[in-house]
């Protein structure tokens, strides 16, 4: 039996008699209301069959779910409330819990050790809270985790190798906006099914592991459709993905202290639609094979120390709708063809003082014409032929003279030599003159008179 009160405008506490009448409830939906107050501590006895709980987006409903003896509960949604205080210590009785979302609340303190008993947990989201401390190592026992979102908290310490070694089923790992430091462990590359890796806004240092190009190489055997959601920063904005989350492939390492070159192997992430490596200390060139990321929609490499020219195949990114390469040391002419022609905002390239060509106002050295080219420019042999003629004025005038002589004397010379052709030529003019006269007198003059009379 299911009880659903989704967005019905309840804005009060729930009476005890209500809970006494729900003994057969298996699924309880109370999202998007204004319910406040306490949930009865003996609700585990009142709702012995409860397996699904959704109290999301209510006003002030701090719950005692964790003190209940509700061993059957599998999914719990408590996000977007005003829950405060520390996480309760009693989690051992919730061994059947597979999905827990307490994001966007005001929970503080550290992780209780009893959370290690959540052996069935597949999705955990505690983002946008005030949790602190290091990432507890007991999460390695939650080997079935598919998604771990602890972003926007006050966590610190190093990223441990056990994340990649023990959580081999991870599809999404989001730890952005914390205070993690140290290098990115290469063990993360063991997560061959990872679709979202978001480590942005931390204090990570060192280089980008080249083996990150191995992410998402594992064949997905299921879409992992759930009713959960996740925030993904893309195209300079924050998007909340819900039912389409299984389609999102994203790598975000922005706003850290990463250094070294961008490994060329990272371009093997051909399924990824978003890559953000901005605000670091990355140097060297943009990978030559960046065009291999053919599904890429958003690329942000701004505010680094990248140098050199643009890769030739950058314009092959047919789905690219957001590009930011500003404030680097890139040089040469901006590629202006194919998809890049639609990205004509000069701020994309701002701060690269050695760049030239459209959409930038400064022309490239030695270029007297618009680099975008006139009709026919860039067409291979035609361009080379035209360039050869213009570079040799003598050849041009000789060709012009020959063309005039052949054309003029080929027609006029024949008429002078052959009398029959000359007579036929002038007769045709006489016939044409007669036809024009007949047309004017018979067709055009009556037509003009009729228009004049209609206007009167």
> pLDDT band for position 456 (50/70/90)?
very low
Whether residue 378 sits in one domain with residue 442: no
Residues of the domain holding 61: 1-121
Whether residue 424 sits in one domain with residue 393: no
444 falls within a domain: yes
Q: Which range (180-184, 284-288, 443-447) has the least confidence?
A: 443-447
Kindly state the helix (H) or strand (E) to which residue 330 belongs, with its residue range. Answer: strand 329-333
Whether residue 53 sits in one domain with residue 1: yes
62 falls within a domain: yes
For residue 258, what pLDDT is reported? Answer: 97
Find all residues with CB under 8 Å of 313, minimum gap 6, and list them: 288, 289, 290, 291, 292
For residue 106, what pLDDT is reported? Answer: 87
Phi first, then psi: what are they for 381, rounded to 5°? -65, -35
The pLDDT of residue 205 is above 60: yes
Q: Tens digit of pLDDT for each residue in 46-61?
A: 666 665 565 555 544 4
298 falls within a domain: no
Whether residue 76 sits in one domain with residue 2: yes
Q: Tens digit of pLDDT for each residue in 356-402?
A: 888 888 888 876 554 444 444 444 444 444 444 444 556 666 776 77
Whether residue 82 sits in one domain with residue 96: yes
Find all residues with CB under 8 Å of 268, minimum gap 6, and list them: 213, 214, 292
Does residue 78 sit in helix, strand or coil?
Answer: coil
Q: Is the pLDDT higher at 138 or at 452?
A: 138
Whether residue 429 sits in one domain with residue 390: no
Q: Tens digit of pLDDT for each residue in 113-153?
A: 888 888 888 889 999 999 999 998 888 888 889 999 999 99
Find all residues with CB under 8 Å of 428, minimum gap 6, and list them: none
Tokens of 432: 């044409």
In the chain, the number of structural domains is: 3
> pLDDT band for position 211 (50/70/90)?
very high
1 falls within a domain: yes
The pLDDT of residue 287 is above 90: yes
Q: Is the pLDDT higher at 145 or at 218?
A: 145
- Which CATH number fits the domain that encloses residue 39? 3.80.10.10
Does residue 401 sit in helix, strand or coil?
Answer: helix
For residue 341, what pLDDT is reported? Answer: 80
Residue after which a domain boundary falls, among 87, 121, 155: 121
Q: Which range (20-24, 158-162, 188-192, 273-277) has the least confidence?
A: 20-24
Instruction: Report how far Cα 345 is from the mean position of its chain's Cα atoms.
Output: 18
Whether residue 86 sits in one domain with residue 42: yes
321 falls within a domain: no
19 falls within a domain: yes
Whether residue 87 sits in one domain with residue 117: yes
241 falls within a domain: no
Q: Is the model's pTM score more than 0.75?
A: no
Whether residue 91 sits in one domain with residue 19: yes
Long-range contacts of 352-356 (CB under 8 A, 24+ apart): 352/325, 352/326, 352/327, 352/328, 354/329, 354/330, 355/330, 355/331, 356/332
**Roughly how many angstroms between the first and final C-alpha of the chain, as a whole number?**
86
């Amino acid at each position: 039996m299911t009880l659903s009160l989704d967005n019905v405008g309840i804005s009060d506490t729930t009476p005890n008699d209500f809970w006494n009448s729900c003994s057969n409830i298996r699924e309880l939906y109370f999202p998007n209301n204004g319910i406040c107050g306490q949930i009865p501590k003996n609700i585990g006895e009142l709702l012995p069959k409860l397996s699904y709980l959704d109290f999301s987006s209510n006003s002030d409903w701090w719950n005692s779910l964790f003190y209940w003896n509700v061993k059957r509960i599998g999914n719990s949604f408590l996000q977007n409330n005003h829950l405060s205080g520390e996480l309760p210590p009693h989690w051992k009785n919730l061994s059947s819990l597979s999905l827990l979302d307490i994001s966007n609340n005001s929970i503080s303190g550290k992780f209780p050790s009893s959370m290690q008993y959540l052996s069935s947990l597949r999705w955990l989201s505690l983002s946008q809270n005030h949790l602190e401390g290091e990432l507890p190592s007991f999460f390695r026992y939650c080997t079935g985790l598919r998604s771990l979102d602890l972003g926007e908290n006050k966590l610190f310490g190093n990223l441990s190798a056990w994340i990649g070694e023990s959580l081999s089923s991870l599809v999404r790992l989001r730890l952005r906006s914390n205070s993690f430091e140290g290098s990115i462990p290469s063990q993360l590359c063991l997560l061959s099914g990872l679709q979202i890796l978001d480590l942005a806004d931390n204090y990570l240092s060192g280089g980008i592991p080249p083996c990150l190009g191995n992410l998402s190489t594992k064949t997905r055997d299921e879409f992992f459709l759930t009713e959960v959601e996740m925030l993904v920063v893309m195209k300079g904005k924050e998007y909340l993905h819900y039912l389409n989350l299984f389609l999102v492939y994203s790598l975000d390492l922005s706003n850290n202290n990463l250094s070294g070159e961008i490994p060329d192997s990272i371009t093997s992430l051909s399924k990824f639609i978003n890559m953000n490596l901005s605000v670091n200390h990355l140097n060297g060139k943009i990978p030559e094979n960046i065009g291999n990321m053919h599904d890429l929609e958003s690329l942000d490499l701004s505010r680094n120390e990248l140098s050199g020219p643009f890769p030739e195949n950058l314009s092959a990114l047919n789905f690219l709708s957001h590009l930011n390469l500003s404030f680097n040391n890139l040089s040469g002419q901006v590629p202006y063809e194919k998809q890049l022609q639609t990205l004509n905002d000069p701020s994309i390239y701002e701060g690269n003082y050695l760049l030239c060509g459209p959409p930038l106002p400064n022309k490239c050295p030695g270029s007297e014409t618009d680099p975008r080219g006139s009709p026919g420019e860039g067409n291979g042999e035609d361009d080379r032929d035209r360039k050869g003629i213009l570079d040799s004025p003598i050849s041009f005038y000789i060709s012009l003279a020959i063309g005039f002589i052949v054309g003029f004397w080929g027609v006029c010379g024949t008429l002078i030599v052959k009398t029959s052709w000359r007579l036929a030529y002038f007769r045709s003019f006489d016939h044409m003159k007669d036809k024009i006269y007949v047309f004017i007198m018979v067709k055009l003059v009556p037509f003009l008179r009729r228009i004049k009379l209609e206007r009167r």
